[in-house]
Amino acid sequence: MKLEGKKILLVEDDNFIGDMFTRKLKSEGALCTRANNGTDGLAKLKENNYDFDVIVTDIMMSKMDGYEMVKEIKKDEQGRLLPVIVVTNRNSSTPETARITELDIDGMYIKSSTPLHEIVQHIVDAIEKRGGAQYTQAT
């Protein structure tokens, strides 16, 4: 399994999409923690001492959107090391989408046009890329 034992923080306010992602990630061996908005996502991240392998987030959510959440995460030293994958239904020409690409994210994919198995592969790639960079710096 591609994501065996990897810890994923999934921040998604749509229950149907969140459930679909959770089932797929768990079928790949991932340990998935769910949050319904950016405020909840930040709280879960801090409760777990940033102990996740990747964050997968939507952009448009209530309370705190994905942009604000990622911006807060990247202010923290531990947060800067975490790969972030953005999965949204907004296209790249919207202001919300354009500004999140200014942050240090590892990819942004459109939910409606990117098959779930491809998103899983992008998650795997982001973990390997960031993990590889951390390992190189530590040795």
Tens-digit pLDDT profile for residues 45-102: 999 999 999 999 999 898 999 999 999 999 999 999 999 999 988 766 666 666 777 7
Residue 23: inside a domain, yes or no?
Answer: yes
What is residue 112's predicted lDDT score, i.e. its pLDDT?
Answer: 87
Residue 2: inside a domain, yes or no?
Answer: no
What is residue 92's predicted lDDT score, i.e. its pLDDT?
Answer: 62
pLDDT above 90 (res 121): yes
What is residue 133's predicted lDDT score, i.e. its pLDDT?
Answer: 41
Residue 14: inside a domain, yes or no?
Answer: yes
Distance of alpha carbon 116 from alpha carbon 85, whole angstroms: 13
Q: Is the pTM of this model over 0.85?
A: yes
127: tokens are 């973990």
Residue 118: inside a domain, yes or no?
Answer: yes
Residue 90: inside a domain, yes or no?
Answer: yes
CATH number at residue 71: 3.40.50.2300
Task: State how far the alpha carbon of 9 is from the alpha carbons of 26, 45, 54, 74, 94, in Å.
Answer: 12, 8, 7, 15, 25
What is residue 94's predicted lDDT score, i.e. its pLDDT?
Answer: 65
pLDDT mean over 13-42: 96
Radius of gyration (Cα) for the chain, nearest Å? 14
Task: State how far the alpha carbon of 82 is from the alpha carbons of 19, 41, 110, 112, 118, in Å.
Answer: 23, 14, 21, 25, 20
Segment holding 90, helix H or strand E? none
Residue 1: inside a domain, yes or no?
Answer: no
> How many domains, the chain?
1
The range of the structural domain enclosing residue 44 comes to: 7-138
Q: 32 with 25: CB under 8 angstroms?
A: yes
Per-residue pLDDT band at 104 (split at 50, 70, 90):
confident
93: tokens are 């020409």
pLDDT above 70 (res 135): no
